[in-house]
Amino acid sequence: MTDPIENLKKEFENYIVPPSWKDRVWEIEDFRKFREDILKDRESLEKWWEKWANEIFWFKKWDKVLDDSNPPFYRWFIGGETNLAYLCADWQIEQGRKNKVAIIWEGEPVDEKGEPLEVRKITYYDLYRESNRIAYMLKEKLGVKKDEILTFYMPMIPELPFYMLAVQRLGAKHSIVFSGFSAEALAIRIMDAGARIVVTSDGVYRRGKVVPLKPIVDEAVKICEREGHKVEKVIVVKRAGNEISWYEDRDVWHDELLEDISGNVEVECVPLGSEDFSFILYTSGTTGRPKGAQHSVGGYAVHLYATMKMIWDIQDDDIYWCTADIGWITGHSYIVYGPLMTGATSIMYEGAPNYPDIGRWAAMIERYGVTIFYTAPTAIRMLMREPEETFTKYDLSTLRIVNSVGEPINPEAWNWYYKVFGHNDAVVTSTWWMTETGGIITGHFPGLGKITPLKPGTNGFPIPGINVAVFDDDGNPVEPGKRGYYVITNPWPGMLMTLFKDPERYIDVYFGKYKSKGWYYYTGDFAMLDPDGYVWVLGRADDILKVAGHRIGTAEVESALVSHSAVAEAACVGKSDEIKGEVPLIYVVLKKGYEPSDEMVSELKKHLRSTMGPVVASDALITFVDTLPKTRSGKIMRRLLRAVAEGKDLGDITTLESDVAVEEAKKAYEIVK
Ligand code: ATP
Ligand code: MG
């Protein structure tokens, strides 16, 4: 019996070198050697990270690079002291970037010609002043002290990074909750952090409408009160001007708090050490109850700085744009802290990618001459449903690096992205990482001056200084080209310190699986290394299917379907079957202009047979939906599709974007079961 993996294997040798890089390509053997030299012993590994650490600002340098005396609680740059706010503002000004634009913010509303009505260009000096004013206000008026945690429930407006830096300045911490979450999800996170101050806005513009936020905070605060937790102050930034209820002794306008604070107040920036943390942030909740990752200061900063240089090759004249929401780790690390600590000009956009039409992002890339772009496969698959001309009519030629993150990218989507956004010449990588890793773990490294050839759908290589492996159930490495569980084998600077208030869960979730073998960080993903050493993440370990003795990653089956011209998106789960063990159950979203029908089912099965072989295709169940259940960060929640098929309880759905998708899945399942 042939292994259904053959389909993906053809991508192993699909080497693509963007023409402008043709003279700057690593021989794979040389790159392997470069990485191995760094990883060969403790001394060279420490020297490598120390080199990066030496490039950033420290109030006090470290005595020791890595303390691994209490694994798996690793500590980096012991004895060193720095601060994210200082790195992102003060230090940039010291380096001569006082008047450089740090953030270009674009609001969603447009005029009748589609031009934005509001654009704010915030210089590094503006950033410095505003965050100092807020820090002063928080300290003097609200008594915020070092170590206090504040919860932010804010839209994509410049005040969010201002508050982030203000809090860092004081050595306080933030817990940012994505502003699409429900009152209940917010309340749980406020209580977990023990926050007495919540910062929000009246509302936000989204798809041409005002979405109110303050009422959700009101509701969340009520839930907290019911549970015995008091929120003392809710700071409200005025954004959309919508009417809101007001609680006199609790609510306070951001503008009023700052009214009497002059533009040039300065607040001392508190030096933070290696035992200090910078923030907590919850994971997306794709696979279950969200986990509160607690991140460091120095190690986190070094990791971000190094990846901004290696992965993004950030230069002073770049216009950098990451489309994530700051409420996710991607936004924390690669809209705020990473770009700002490297003195970049970073774009921040308030609204939806399809307002006033689906060309909005492309229009913005043209408007600002964006050179570096970062988005998610879910967005790319949405854009792909449109004719290419929708995007190529804008000037996208400035783009030189276009990466994705969040889910595996199907080779089909990769090719589209390379061609349409990358104009067949940009470096494209699906950078793999997690909330817990702090920063990017895999990619290509244009910042090192040379790249390894690209391959559609790959995650590239682990960044130098970090090593990964693919293990079987017993912790033995599997050979190249075979699937298994994806682990990181050595500590790295950006790694989470622990799970907030839950060190036991930290040990258990990330280091429990292979504890008899040593301290291996278990990612929870399913992956494969190819013979060249490239990483291919194949989906969630919880989501893999076991078909006739083969364990198959969801990404493999989904990519096979998405390569059919009628399919926009697909989600695959295993459905238990008495004879086969499991059969693939596939939910398909068709592209515009295609209709579900029995013929379409046969057509897709035929396609599946020709791409993945009979093992996967013969018993596959295919059904159609308009939308897939996704987290609010846009990831497919396969566990819900499985629960539907098994008639089980849905579990934690606080991060689910829309209930409608689950209802649809239930109906679609009835048709095929
Ligand atoms: P939870 O841990 O609560 O279930 P989550 O894992 O979705 O949620 P995140 O930390 O936002 O929370 O996402 C990390 C996960 O996203 C990774 O473990 C991986 O499954 C997936 N992922 C991220 N980037 C990539 C990528 N480039 N290719 C494939 N998968 C990716
Ligand atoms: Mg996760």
What are the residue ranges of helices labelled H in 277-410?
A: 298-310, 329-331, 338-341, 360-368, 377-383, 389-392
The complex scores an ipTM of: 0.99
Give the nearest ligand 1 atom to 539 CA. Answer: 20
Q: Mapping DSSP to helix (H, G, I), strand (E, B) and coil, where does residue 334 land?
A: helix
| 475 Cα to the center of ligand 2, angstroms | 20
Q: How far is the CA of 11 from the centre of ligand 2 (A)?
A: 26
Which 3 state secondary structure label does DSSP give 48? helix
What is the percentage of the chain residues whose pLDDT exceeds 90? 88
Specify the ligand 1 atom closest to the Cα of 523: 18
Mean pLDDT of the chain: 95
Atom of ligand 1 lying closest to residue 442 CA: 27
pLDDT reported for residue 142? 98
Look at residue 576 and tell me whether its pLDDT is greater than 90.
Answer: no
Strands 233-237 and 209-212: unpaired
Distance 407 CA to ligand 1 centre (A): 6
Residue 654 binned pLDDT confidence (cut-offs 50, 70, 90): confident
**Which of 428, 431, 434 has most ligand 1 atoms within 8 Å of CB, for mutation?**
434
284 Cα to the center of ligand 2, angstroms: 7
What lines the ligand 1 site, CB under 6 Å? 283-288, 290-291, 405-408, 430-435, 459, 523-525, 537, 540, 633, 635
Percent share of the chain, pLDDT over 70: 99
Supply the residue whose CA is at minimum distance from atom 28 of ligand 1.
408
Where does the pLDDT of residue 19 fall: very low under 50, low under 70, confident under 90, or very high at 90 and above?
A: very high
Count of residues in the chain = 673
Task: For ligand 1, pick from 286, 294, 404, 436 the residue to mutate: most ligand atoms within 8 Å of CB.
Answer: 286
The amino acid that residue 347 corresponds to is I
pLDDT at residue 1 greater than cutoff 50: no
Distance 61 CA to ligand 2 centre (A): 33
Q: Could you read off the pLDDT of 246-283 as tens digits, one per residue?
A: 999 999 999 999 999 999 999 999 999 989 999 999 99
Mutating to test ligand 1, I would choose from 537, 633, 637, 656 the residue with most ligand atoms within 8 A of its C-beta, which is 537
For the CA of 404, the closest atom of ligand 1 is 27
Q: What sections of 563-658 are H helices per DSSP?
A: 598-612, 614-617, 638-646
What's the average model confidence in pLDDT over 14-29?
97
The encoded tokens of residue 230 equal 């008091």
Q: Which is the closest atom of ligand 1 to the Cα of 291?
A: 3
Q: What is the pLDDT of residue 4?
A: 59
CA-nearest residue for atom 3, ligand 1, is 285
The model's confidence at residue 547, banded by pLDDT at 50, 70 and 90, is confident
Quick one: pLDDT band at residue 3, thresholds 50, 70, 90?
low
Name which residue leads in pLDDT, 344 or 634. 344
Buried (b) or exposed (e) across 68-91, using 16+ Cβ within 10 A? eeeebebbbbbebbbbbbbbbbbb
Backbone angles phi, psi at 45, to 5 degrees: -65, -45
Residue nearest to ligand 1 atom 16, measured at CA: 406
Reported as a pLDDT band with limits 50, 70 and 90, residue 581 is confident
Q: 427-430 and 401-404 as β-strands: parallel, antiparallel, unpaired?
A: parallel
What is the per-residue pLDDT across 211-249, written as a single tens digit (0 to 9) for each? 999 999 999 999 999 999 999 999 999 999 999 999 999
| Ligand 2 mean position, distance from CA 191 (Å) | 22
Residue nearest to atom 19 of ligand 1 (CA): 407
Probe target for ligand 1 pocket from 280, 330, 433, with the most ligand atoms within 8 Å of CB: 433
d(CA 609, CA 602): 10
Looking at the CA of 434, name the nearest ligand: 1
Which residues are CB-neighbours of 413 under 8 A, at least 6 positions away?
377, 380, 381, 384, 562
| Dist. CA 286 → ligand 2 center (Å) | 7
What are 401-416's pLDDT values in tens digits? 999 999 999 999 999 9
How far does residue 637's CA lie from ligand 1's centre (Å)? 11
Ligand nearest to the CA of 289: 1
What pTM was computed for the model? 0.95
